[in-house]
Each structure stands twice: as structure tokens, then as C-alpha cells.
Structure 1
């Protein structure tokens, strides 16, 4: 689908070429970071055209906030997210708003992230943190952060969401299948990102060439989720986990349960969305913390004051939450999203016609100096302290998306990340070699793999 045209007086990159448009300013590998850089010279709203495609980008915080108004704007599926429909067509993440399955699933899952449910997940999360600390303690102190955080986030989903050990930290019956699942999902994420950002002509050809690979990876994902579902059906439990909710809960509005084929898609939703984005966040957090010894000590002081790692203690670790929020501000794993105008809109002085899509680049709007201050590009977790936040009343902070389609599992992810960071810092002194954080894009914004040094603490 090609978005409809907007007014021709929107700013655009220099050097536009007839027919080809702004193709010289396309970056296939880091497209959103490239658009963020263009915003520095083009302003808070601009367009780019290439080979007949026309896109409008919103990078200013105030305009991004305007696009969050559900009365005048709505979510639009386009780009890499649309590609995810190829392997989980009716998942909560990608299904259209007007599909009744979306509302049904959303209503069924809402209680799964209330405080009572979160308390029930805590022990499973803590067991993963214990396994992570044990693995690092037995190693040589050089940590492959990408692998460690991928496995930790995936294992949390398995144990807390499905009440089963996936075997990502030690040999278990599911180990081989779980690693194969992670590999297949990672490959699909890469291909979805490439296909969703591909140019006309090249894109369809590349899609056909990769079709068999997509089918193989999709089949691996479906086998994994189908087996989890079948085993639970064969051996029912009274576990208060996401899987039982998917299989047994009824929609309070319709009285219906989720269709079984939709349960498969929802299992994939929480595996794909839950592990990838949380792992990306944790990698960013550990990089910044490892580079700041003073911050590490301040966090350890907070951990000591909380007196342990039970549910109540973890929810009170405010400094870690500030660090998480600051990393979400600087490097949101979901760096942007499409919005569609419900009616004709005036956006920054430009007319956006009804039905036209804009791409809100949260990565840029989160760093808008007009609302976050002159130091908006700097890492400063203390900016999330209440007194500091009050000095930025127009701030824009939407790392979880916006409106009714925002991430339903945000509290799950934040609690998990807080606990894992607290356990790591209580057990290890972290350091890096000083290499700057570099980001890659594959549907999500995630750090390039890096290593850190983890030395066991004598007084842990």
C-alpha cells in the first residue's frame, strides 16, 4: 500500500532526483537512525520520496504527541510490523483494530499483568536471575551480553508465561528446540525488517527468493508453540500463567474463549515481543551501567536499602527504574510507529489528509531538546526523578507505543528487567572496554553484540 500524497511544500532532503526521488538519502541498514539524523536539518516534520513511495516523518516531540490523540489519529500497520503477519497473522501485536480477535485477546490478557498476576510471576523471574548469576560466576568473567540477555529474557517467558523451563541455561528436554526457536525467530525478525523497508522492484524479488526460508522458520516456530499447547492440553494444570489464561479464560464481553489457532499466535506474540524487546533494553542498560562505577555503587546502595529481592523490594528500586526509563528514552527497542489521520489534520502547519500515514520516530522525539532540554542526547537517569520531570511538562516518552495498542506487557518487562539488573549488580562489578554503544535495526532497535567484564564481588 502506497500512502497518499501530502502537500508538496513539506521539507525534504536536498538533491532530489527526478523519478528516483530522495533515494540517495536511503540507509537500508540503519533507516530510522538515518531519519533521526535528517531531522536535525529538516525539522520536526519532513517527507522523503523514493521510486514512487512517499513517506512523512514526525520527529518533533510536540507533533508526535499530537499524533497520539486517538480522536484524530489511529494506529496503522505498515513496514516491518506488517511483515510479522506472515508467521503470526492474528497475534495481539499485528492484528487489525477492527478484527474482533484483537479486542477479545486484549480483554482476556489484561488481568495477566495486574499486580496479583505479577506477584505470581516473580518467583519464576527470580529463578532465571539465579541461573544467570550462577553461569557468570562459573565462567571466565567475559560476558557475551547479547547471548546472555537473549537467553534470560526467553527463559523468563518460558518459566513465568508457560510454567516450563526452556533449557536456555542448562541442558533440559526443551533445550535443542528452544535454541532452534530463538534462531528461527531471530532470522524471521531480520527478514521482516529487510522486507518491510525494501524499495519497489527490489523488495518483491527479494521476498520471493526468501519465501522458502520464511516458510522453514515459520514452521519451526509453529511446531514449538503447538507442542507447548498440546502438552498443556494433555496435562492440564492450575498454574496461574499466561498459557492457562490463553486456553481457559473467557472474554468478559463476549463470553468466548480464544480459538485454538489464535492461542498459537498469542504464544508467539509473547515469545517474540517479550524476549526481543526486553533483551534489547537490558543490553543497553548494562552497557551504560558498566561504564559508570559511581552509578553502580548508588544502585547497590538502593538494593541494600530494599533488603532483598522479593516482589515488594524490587518494585521499590526506583533508581534502577530511572535507568531503565532513560535507556528506553534514548534507545527505545520499538523506535517508531505509523499513525493514520482519521480526518484532515494540521500538523506543524502542514495539511495531512484523512487516511494518510505518518511515521512517528520515537527515537528522535524522545531526544527533542525543545522539551527535554539541551542535554537531551546525554544519558542521565536522574532526569526521571519527579522534581526533574516537572521541569519538562511537554516531554514525549512513548517507548511502549501509544493508545489502546500500546504494549500490554510493559509492567512484566519492567519488573523482569529491574530484578535481573539488581541481581547482576549485587553479584558482580561490571566494566566495559570503552567501546561506544552501536545500534542495529531488525524490526527492533538493539545494540550490536558486545562483551562486558563481570568480576564477582567479595561481599555479595
Structure 2
């Protein structure tokens, strides 16, 4: 006796003739528009993008099925595919079945091992100290552009740790030209939606994007050339060294020069974009939740001490467990990689009732997955670091929290990012009082990642800090 599965139609918003749902989402805030649709339509809905179906999913039980890598693979399409103009077939934008992706993944995985994290610590401290010194020298009425400074510290950190290259972000007024070029390129990638006459309407942006890509490629080529010219010196055991010298044990091959360029661009993008947003959101929430701030500061004082002349150790950073809970909770409400996409190898049925055809573009809307009340409770929209206590984490399904993607395509640098963010937030709390002088209300700036928009604050050196004379 066979049991026939009763399929249900996937909910869908109203659409227009020919263009379908292309205009259903605000082009300036597509993520927030999709979040609103998810609130209205539920944990799964579909859209018609000029005849091409797209399915959006945010329910953790459905996501658990989608994260089965034997059934679904990462889909590199839409804006992410357009980022190939700078990332090519590197780790973030390459296809899983591309031999170059597998080769690079195997070569570069050791650069994020436990030993690698130990090796990166002095360089992370070097850059963090520059940020602390800048803030210590501010006048009492000077305000801080939070995203600017978090972007600078994150870019400088991946620059020095990954490639022994100094962007020197704290020795210039605005952003480094690489950031300006990158921001414009990502914005242009996001603006393209495949509409008629789009290339003509965006011609000026697209022309500038070509110049920006050339600038970024030239900078990266210079980094590689400088390393090769210094080939007789003692090798720096960083990402770039693994790219230049690493050999894949499976194939016996090394990375091509073109792929090395793509990988460097990718690490410079991913290594600062998401981490800077994470730290910015975290500072916002700390200022808005005094009890959380007090608890985090108490932990910092207990673990790091009050003598700011004594540099934190990696062991101490790993002991800042409540600070990490705050970071993870900020990353829950506003995951800086707010979505990732998959497609089924074959026709699939998920949730026992929703049919998805092979090759369909399925996007996991991480911002709404992290607000799924069936996993996070009725207060899922509220900021609460206790969501990441050991007890809460043990009781929650793993599929409910996916800020770093999934499986073999999960962010390779996630441990690096958390170590960096914990160190920097810890050092800030050790030294400074945070002042919300504008009563800032959170506004989201969307690109390929997300950050607070227009977030300014002031700081004041704590009265109870100690600065010993180190010999």
C-alpha cells in the first residue's frame, strides 16, 4: 500500500505581467523588503523574476533539509555571480564542482588552523593597538564614525595577517582607495537585476566599475610582485605564502597566478566587510543594553585586567566567553552575510509538501532564519546574549543558526573573524566608556553585506584604567 505525498503550492506575493516580482522588493533595501515578505508569507515563499523562479526559505526545519549537501549545492548566481568580476572562481564565488575551487580549499585550509590563529595574534594586536591609540588621542567632543573605523581595523588586520601588507587606514582621513573601489563595485553588482535597458541606464556606473576592478587588480598584483621580489628573504607563513608555495596533495598542482589574484581579492573583501559590520552592530547593541555592557565589561576587567599596557594573550581572548555571546547575538539579529543560496541536484520535496525542481535558485534568508520563533522563542526579535549560553545552544537545533553559511562552503575564516572581533571589542571595553551622543536609531545599509548606516558615537577613557610602565 503506497502513501501519496500531498504537495502544496509555495506561497507567492502578487506579481506583474512579464516582469513578475522584480519590482516587489525595494532596489535600495532588497534584504529588508524580503524580510517583510517573509513576515507576511511565512517560512517559505517563491518569486517570479522575469520567468525565473526563486524560492526564499527561513524556517529552521526546512533549512535543515536544504543544508543536506548530498541533495543541495551552493548556487553562485545573481549579485554573487556578478562579484566574479573581482573574485573569479575563488573560494567565495567559485562553484563547488570547479576543480580550482577544491584545489584552493585544500591548500588554504591550514591557514586557519589553531596554530595559524596563534601566529596571527601578534599582528592582530599590532592593528588593534593602532585603533586604541587613535581613540585615546581624540578630544572629548570628537565623534567616531564607527563603520569607518571598524572597516579600517578589519581591512588592516586581514592585510597584515594575510599578505604582510599595510593599508595604514589610521594614517588617512577617508577610506583607503581599495575600499572606495570595492564599495562602488559591490553596489553596482547589487543594482543589476536583469531589467530591459539596464546596461544603458547603469552605463556610467558600469564604466566606473571597470576602472575600479582594474585598480583593485593592480593593487593585488603589486602585493604579489613585492612578495616574489623578496623571495630570498625568510618566507612569511601567511595566506599569500600558502597561495604561492602551496601544493595540493590530491592533484599535485599549485594555484595559477590568475587564481591567486582572485583569492586575494576575495580574502580582502570577505576578511573585512563582514567583520567590520559585526563589530559595528555589536557596539550599537552594547550602548543600547546597559546591563549587557556592564556584564561584558566586568568579564573584560576580570580576564584582561585594568592595566592597558599589558597586551592580551590568545588564551585570555578565548576566555572572553560573554563578549563572544554578545558578538554571536549581534550576528544573529544582523548576520553580515545575510543570505546564501542553494540549488537541488534533482527534483526535491522539502517539508514533506513543497516541491522544488532541480536547479531552482533557493535562498536561505538568514536574517529571518535567526528570527524563527519556533527555534528562538517569542522574543526572537529582541537582543539577548543569553541565547548563546551553553544551555541554550545545546537545546537549539543547529539549523537555526547559519551566519557563516553551511558545510564545505561555510566561511573558511570564521574562527579568524571571531578571534579578531573578540580581541578588538575586549580592548575597547577595557579602555573606554561608550557614549551614544546622537541617540542613534539603527538603520541598515545594504550591499553584498550589511552594516549600520550613519552610526556615530563618542568615547571617553575610563577613569579606573591603569597604564603601568613596561620594561
With normalisation by structure 2, the TM-score equals: 0.91
The answer (yes or no) to whether the contact 2:280–2:452 under 8 Å persists in 1 is yes
Judged with a 3 Å threshold, the aligned counterparts in structure 2 of structure 1 residues 8 and 86 are, in CA distance, closer, same or farther, namely farther
Q: CA deviation at 1:92?
A: 1.5
Matched residues in 2 for 1:42 and 1:364: separation?
12
Q: How does 1:250-289 map to 2 (within 5 A)?
A: 250-289=247-286
Instruction: State the match for 1:137 in structure 2.
Output: 136
Q: CA deviation at 1:161?
A: 1.3
Instruction: State the match for 2:10 in structure 1.
Output: 10
Q: CA deviation at 1:264?
A: 1.3
Please state whether the residue corresponding to 1:40 is helix, strand or coil. helix
Matched residues in 2 for 1:116 and 1:48: separation?
46
Instruction: State the match for 1:4 in structure 2.
Output: none
Is residue 342 from structure 1 mapped to residue 345 from structure 2 by the alignment? yes
Q: CA deviation at 1:297?
A: 2.3
Segment drifting more, 315-324 vs 204-213: 204-213
Is residue 370 from structure 1 mapped to residue 367 from structure 2 by the alignment? no
Instruction: State the match for 2:219 in structure 1.
Output: 224
Matched residues in 2 for 1:264 and 1:392: separation?
40
The answer (yes or no) to whether the contact 1:194–1:442 under 8 Å persists in 2 is no
Instruction: State the match for 2:456 in structure 1.
Output: 451
Matched residues in 2 for 1:218 and 1:404: separation?
28
Q: CA deviation at 1:87?
A: 2.1
Q: CA deviation at 1:128?
A: 1.1
Q: CA deviation at 1:41?
A: 2.0
Judged with a 3 Å threshold, the aligned counterparts in structure 2 of structure 1 residues 372 and 395 are, in CA distance, closer, same or farther, namely farther
Count of paired positions: 447
Matched residues in 2 for 1:222 and 1:377: separation?
41
Query: Gaps (5+ residues) in structure 1?
Result: 1-6
Instruction: State the match for 2:115 in structure 1.
Output: 116
Please state whether the residue corresponding to 1:328 is helix, strand or coil. helix
Matched residues in 1 for 2:262 and 2:455: separation?
32
Q: CA deviation at 1:112?
A: 0.5
Please state whether the residue corresponding to 2:94 is helix, strand or coil. coil
Instruction: State the match for 1:155 in structure 2.
Output: 156
C-alpha RMSD of matched pairs (Å):
1.9
Is residue 91 from structure 1 mapped to residue 60 from structure 2 by the alignment? no
Please state whether the residue corresponding to 1:429 is helix, strand or coil. strand
Q: CA deviation at 1:24?
A: 5.3
Q: CA deviation at 1:261?
A: 1.9
With normalisation by structure 1, the TM-score equals: 0.93
Runs of 4+ aligned structure 1 residues displaced above 6 Å come to none
Q: CA deviation at 1:17?
A: 3.4
Q: CA deviation at 1:330?
A: 0.7
Q: CA deviation at 1:439?
A: 0.9
Query: Gaps (5+ residues) in structure 2?
Result: 1-6, 306-311, 466-471
The answer (yes or no) to whether the contact 1:45–1:56 under 8 Å persists in 2 is yes
Q: CA deviation at 1:394?
A: 6.2
Q: CA deviation at 1:205?
A: 3.4
Matched residues in 2 for 1:108 and 1:286: separation?
35
Is residue 428 from structure 1 mapped to residue 427 from structure 2 by the alignment? no
Q: CA deviation at 1:106?
A: 0.5
Please state whether the residue corresponding to 2:362 is helix, strand or coil. strand
Matched residues in 1 for 2:121 and 2:398: separation?
35
Matched residues in 2 for 1:452 and 1:147: separation?
12
Matched residues in 2 for 1:199 and 1:27: separation?
15
Instruction: State the match for 2:27 in structure 1.
Output: 28
Is residue 320 from structure 1 mapped to residue 315 from structure 2 by the alignment? no
The answer (yes or no) to whether the contact 1:290–1:452 under 8 Å persists in 2 is no
Deviation string 1:31-51 (CA, Å, 9 cap, x unpaired) is 121111111221111112244
Is residue 170 from structure 1 mapped to residue 171 from structure 2 by the alignment? yes
Instruction: State the match for 1:3 in structure 2.
Output: none
Judged with a 3 Å threshold, the aligned counterparts in structure 2 of structure 1 residues 165 and 137 are, in CA distance, closer, same or farther, namely same
Please state whether the residue corresponding to 1:87 is helix, strand or coil. helix
Q: CA deviation at 1:199?
A: 4.3
Matched residues in 1 for 2:75 and 2:399: separation?
23
